Structure 1
Amino acid sequence: MSALVQGASKGIGLHFCKSLLSRHRVNVIATCRDPGTAPQLCALKEQYPGALIILKLDVTSQDDIHNAAERVQLDFGSLDLLINSSAMLHPSGKGETSLRDVSAEGLSVTLATNTIGPLMMAKYFAPLLMKGTGAFGAQCSDKSRQHSAILVNMTAKVGSIGDNVLGGWYGYRMSKAALNMATRNLSVELGRGQSKVICVSLHPGTVDTDLSRPYHKNVPTKKLFSPEHSVNCLMHIIENLSIAKTGKCFSWDGSELPW
């Protein structure tokens, strides 16, 4: 069994690595932009020296993604789970509150990290996912409905067009809405043939991470989750996914979010 977490240096990505290593007998490939500035991830590798591999990968670099895919192909030959976790709210750290705050540069950087990067990950890792063992998720007795692997794109509720009643946060909302469309497209293409890959978008809730920290004062205490709690909820969803759920968007509590 092998799983790759893209964006694993901190926050949700780091806790996905911890959960996978502690709950499953699985090799974890953890990627981040600069392993030298990821002390928690490096400490985790010391705890699981034989099961955790750290690779340098900037999700905005197609060369990095290609090189990482070749490394995983060489070391493992297949992949059972891919989680695209890294994201940014805005290069400034704060979402645009109105149209006057929108800039072409800010939109480009946000989309490159939140949308284009995960899609490039899918492009280069899809062949490995199609060779997976189906170790994650719930397999169906009907062989024609069985899956080989799972691809997870971390989305956000604010990326839902149907749920948007407040506006603002142009770049982040747009990037996550576009990522949801990419997930849906991937579910169609990778759901054909015998080697099916389940593709879903998952919303982790409002999590106590650097991305959301500037807005914690507006979040009720009971609705601000620790990374551990959020990841536990999301892993429960992942462990119970079937091909019937591919192409959908789920919230941390298992409810389906509107596109």
Structure 2
Amino acid sequence: MNTEKQSHVLIIGASGGVGQALVEYYLTVGWRVTAWSRSRLSITHDALSCVQVQGYHPEQVADAVASLADLSGVISTLGVLHNAEFMPEKHLGAVNAEQLEASFQVNTILPILLLQQLVPKLPRKAPAFWLQLSAKVGSITDNYLGGWYSYRASKAALNMLLKTAAIELARSHKQLVIAAMHPGTTDTGLSKPFQDRLPADKLYSPAQSAARIAAVVEKLATGDSGKLLHWDGTELPY
């Protein structure tokens, strides 16, 4: 994405493996970075503004949103696959309301509400971007293995919400690109329980994934708005 002034990025979920790597990457290439995280970051830099938030519900980030200015783009890394209470469901009998609700809350509801809040902070007449990390397994077309019900469904719903928002906002923010992206399996806590099944060359370091995400951002064009993108920039099917 070519802009005359593209120097300030907001990283949401900046204390996670990919989020922190993105902060480090953009500082290295000379961007101004605002980092939202629930945990305190250990990074210090003159171009970095760290905002520790209690959570990502609208009322919890209202002050942080109000303080933003001159924003060029947003990268949100929010997402949950498992936690202390649940793992991905392997079969229909494991599906339950609590896990579905938890997955949709983090993977679907919070990202779209954050977009709703942050759109007024993005320029209406200049290039800008909103990139939300999603997952290839959220593709309905590409689902050949089944399982992982709540994660797949919440990511598919996320993709639909972003596609719908992209259509609407193209009328008011003609140079804004809203996209979802599959970053590949990255060596973070999210993928840790499943890494032993992967070939070594299919597990990427956070720094690798951050550089790939940034490369996709750099090439975004308005025609990409509403798409689900692979880490190499190719389009994935819904």
Answer yes or no: same fold by TM over 0.5: yes
| CA shift for structure 1 position 10 | 2.1
Q: Does 1:16 align with 2:8?
A: no
- The aligned counterpart of 1:128 is 121
Match of 1:206 among 170, 185, 200: 185
Determine if the alignment matches structure 1 residue 89 to structure 2 residue 81: yes
SS at the partner of 1:225? Answer: coil
Work out which structure has the larger RCO, using CA pairs closer than 8 Å and 6 or more positions apart in sequence.
2
CA contact (8 A) 2:58 2:117 kept: no
Q: Secondary structure of the residue that 1:238 maps to in structure 2?
A: helix
Structure 2 alignment gaps of length 5 or more: 1-6
Change (3 A) 1:58 1:100: farther
Q: What residue in structure 2 maps to residue 26 of structure 1?
A: 31
**Residue 103 of structure 1 pairs with residue 96 of structure 2:** yes
Runs (4+) of structure 1 exceeding 4 A deviation are none
2:199 to 205, 214, 220: 220
Structure 1 residues 68, 194: closer, same or farther in 2, change over 3 A? closer
Q: Which residue of 2 aligns with 1:54?
A: 50
Q: What does residue range 156-195 of structure 1 map to in structure 2 within 5 Å?
A: 156-193=135-172, 195=174
SS at match of 1:122: helix
Counterpart for residue 196 of structure 1? 175
Matches within 5 A, 1:147-158: 147-158=126-137
Residue 241 of structure 1, CA deviation: 0.8
Task: Determine which of 204, 211, 219 is the counterpart of 1:240.
Answer: 219
1:56 touches 1:64 (CA, 8 Å); kept in 2?
A: no
- Residue 104 of structure 1: CA displacement? 1.0
Q: CA deviation at 1:60?
A: 4.3
| 2:17 is equivalent to residue 2 of structure 1 | no
In structure 2, how many angstroms separate the alpha carbons of the residues matched to 1:182 and 1:152? 13
Equivalence for 1:141: none
Superposed CA deviations along residues 111-144 of structure 1, whole A, max 9, x for unmatched, are 1111111111101100111358xxxxxxxxxxxx
Structure 2 CA distance for aligned equivalents of residues 55 and 19 of structure 1: 18
More deviation in 62-71 or 2-11? Answer: 62-71
After superposition, give the CA deviation of every residue in 1:140-167 in whole Å (9 maximum; x if it has no partner): xxxxxxx531000100110010000111
Contact in 2 for aligned 1:153/1:179 (Cα 8 Å): no
Aligned to 1:139: none
Q: Report the CA distance shift for 1:5/1:194 in structure 2 as closer, same or farther (over 3 A).
A: closer
Residue 171 of structure 1 and its aligned partner are, at CA, apart by 1.1
Structure 2 CA distance for aligned equivalents of residues 33 and 166 of structure 1: 34
Q: Percent same amino acid at aligned positions? A: 35
Distance in 2 (alpha carbons) for counterparts of 1:217 and 1:56: 33
What letter is aligned with 2:50? I
Equivalent-residue separation in structure 2 for 1:93 and 1:218 (angstroms): 19
Report the alpha carbon displacement of residue 243 of structure 1 after superposing the two structures with TM. 0.7
> Residues 58, 175 of structure 1: CA spacing in aligned structure 2 closer, same or farther, 3 A cutoff?
farther
Which 5+ residue runs of structure 1 have no aligned equivalent? 36-40, 133-146
Matched AA of 2:182: H
CA distance in 2, matches of 1:250, 1:194: 21
Structure 1 pair 204/93, CA: closer, same or farther in 2 (3 Å)?
farther
What TM-score comes out, normalization by structure 2 length?
A: 0.91
